[in-house]
């Protein structure tokens, strides 16, 4: 789980200043949600984290998302404890 969080933090840090693609965030979000991607609740189980990430990445590949869109879209699927650590650990990176 720690490696997963470190990887997410590194990804956000690398892409925080990248330009947001044109085309409308709302349109991209609606398309993403039509795939019914799983939510991540922040379970301390590395297998659950990997399964969530694999499922979300499949959706990103299907949509041909750019890295900036991936960060935004993945953040919509963080729930419960994952939303809490997402706010606490990643706010300083953005």
pLDDT of amino acid 62: 94
| Whole-angstrom distance, CA of residue 13 vs CA of residue 35 | 27
Neighbours of 26 (CB within 10 A): 8
Is the model's pTM score more than 0.85?
Answer: no
* Greatest alpha-carbon span in the chain: 36
pLDDT of amino acid 48: 86
CA atoms within 13 A on the CB side of 22: 0
pLDDT of amino acid 75: 83
pLDDT of amino acid 31: 92
pLDDT of amino acid 85: 54
Residues (pLDDT < 70) of the chain are: 1-24, 81-94
**Closest to 63 measured CA to CA, from 40, 36, 86, 82:** 36
């Amino acid at each position: 789980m720690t490696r997963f969080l470190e990887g997410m933090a590194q990804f956000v840090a690398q892409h925080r200043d990248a330009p947001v693609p044109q085309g409308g965030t709302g349109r991209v979000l609606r398309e993403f949600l039509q795939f019914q991607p799983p939510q991540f609740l922040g379970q301390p189980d590395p297998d659950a984290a990997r399964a969530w990430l694999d499922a979300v990445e499949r959706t990103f590949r299907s949509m041909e998302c750019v890295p900036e869109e991936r960060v935004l879209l993945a953040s919509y699927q963080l729930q419960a404890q994952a939303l809490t650590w997402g706010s606490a650990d990643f706010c300083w990176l953005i």
